[in-house]
Amino acid sequence: MTSVAPHKKAKALKPGSRRPAKELCSECGLCDTYYIHYVKEACAFLNQQVAELEAAAHGRSRNLESQDDWYFGVHQEMMAAKKKQPIEGAQWTGIVSTIACEMLTRGMVEGVVCVQNTKEDRFQPMPILATTPEQILAARVNKPTLSPNLSVLEQIEQSGMKRLLVIGVGCQIQALRAVEKQLGLEKLYVLGTPCVDNVSREGLQKFLETTSKSPETVVHYEFMQDFRVHFKHEDGSIETVPFFGLKTNKLKDVFAPSCMSCFDYVNSLADLVVGYMGAPFGWQWIVVRNDTGREMLDLVRDQIETQGVMSSGDRRQAVQNSIPAYDKGVTLPMWAAKLMGVVIERIGPKGLEYARFSIDSHYTRNYLFVKRNYPEKLAAHVPEYAKRIVGQYKLPE
């Protein structure tokens, strides 16, 4: 029998202290644990290594000859899906929480890393290592704030767990994959969601106050495929604000610098990704990256309706027009923003083309952000697939 060498440990940083990635830190949680020892190699903002980690997780990295791979990452299959009986209070229909509960109750895993909120604040993240379905369900719905999900990693070793599911967004999953071998697990399952434009808790407050009519009653929100932000309020009412009416000049500094320099919107390293942006309105979008992801999805096939992915429209002109508009912080008057929203919803990109629209808009914006603020990082930090996506557009200096 071979024995595994114990991993190296270092002293975790105190909450609030400056992190190795400095202002680019996304508070993924790794540095709150003794796995900080590996930070230089593992941190998504210090050492971009998506292609190498893809090869380790999925058996291959993105095929750079395939545009679908540039955009959506390594995948076996994509589909649109929704739960036949949605989970009340989930972000969408609750596919993520359902898969996690099934994995736990069937004994495939002993614990699930997910994030609840604190009692005092519905948007303040509180990562946990869940061991009951009730705890997983209490973690449903997005905490639209930077969340230190990996801060519970030390508990895994201490608990002696050998089979684990981690739910998380791209930057958390990159660091997790980089230390995966040190966790002493027999099997790690990774269930990811796409993620973009995340904010600190203070940034969220500013976003809600600048954009919603009733910031204190917002329960959750999403940037939807109909080109509107949908705010759900405590009384169940929905408020919509067109993207083109957002006060971009006031919101420019709201998004965290980590998210302004992220090129892993689609969570390239998860086994299975559950989002919405490649699916028709009201449906979720599923990307199966490898056999492990397929095994996870198979657990809930009888609880979901599915349909193939579709794609229509042409995003390119809309993306090209949005680049200087965002750069200059242009805000349209509300009537014009509403009109533009209606027109673009009728004739604009749908399905996978909408996902490409969102990826293109964010990667071009983020490329400019890194180029202007961290020019020395640009070449190594931007993955090759993102350089090709950005290379389709004319960017201002």
Q: Which residues bind ligand FAD (CB under 6 A)?
A: 87, 90-97, 114-115, 125, 139-145, 147, 149, 167-169, 193-196, 198, 222-223, 274-277, 284-285
Minimum separation from the CB atom of position 40 to ligand SF4 (A): 9
48 or 97: CB nearest ligand FAD: 97
Minimum separation from the CB atom of position 286 to ligand FAD (A): 9
The bridge status of strand 187-192 relative to strand 163-168 is parallel
Q: Choosing among ligand SF4, ligand FAD, none, which partner's interface includes residue 251 (Cβ < 5 to 8 Å by kind)? A: none
Q: Choosing among ligand SF4, ligand FAD, none, which partner's interface includes residue 143 (Cβ < 5 to 8 Å by kind)? A: ligand FAD
Q: What is the contact surface with ligand SF4 in residues (CB under 6 A)? A: 19-21, 25-28, 30-31, 39, 43, 45, 171, 175
Closest residue to ligand FAD, judged by C-beta, is 275
Minimum separation from the CB atom of position 342 to ligand SF4 (A): 40
9 or 89: CB nearest ligand FAD: 89
Polymer length of the chain: 397
Minimum separation from the CB atom of position 127 to ligand FAD (A): 8
Q: Choosing among ligand SF4, ligand FAD, none, which partner's interface includes residue 39 (Cβ < 5 to 8 Å by kind)? A: ligand SF4
Q: Choosing among ligand FAD, ligand SF4, none, which partner's interface includes residue 20 (Cβ < 5 to 8 Å by kind)? A: ligand SF4
Minimum separation from the CB atom of position 384 to ligand SF4 (A): 22
Q: Choosing among ligand FAD, ligand SF4, none, which partner's interface includes residue 37 (Cβ < 5 to 8 Å by kind)? A: none
Minimum separation from the CB atom of position 16 to ligand FAD (A): 19
Q: Choosing among ligand SF4, ligand FAD, none, which partner's interface includes residue 47 (Cβ < 5 to 8 Å by kind)? A: none
Spacing of C-alpha 236 from chain mean position: 25
Minimum separation from the CB atom of position 89 to ligand FAD (A): 8
37 or 95: CB nearest ligand FAD: 95
Q: Choosing among ligand SF4, ligand FAD, none, which partner's interface includes residue 196 (Cβ < 5 to 8 Å by kind)? A: ligand FAD
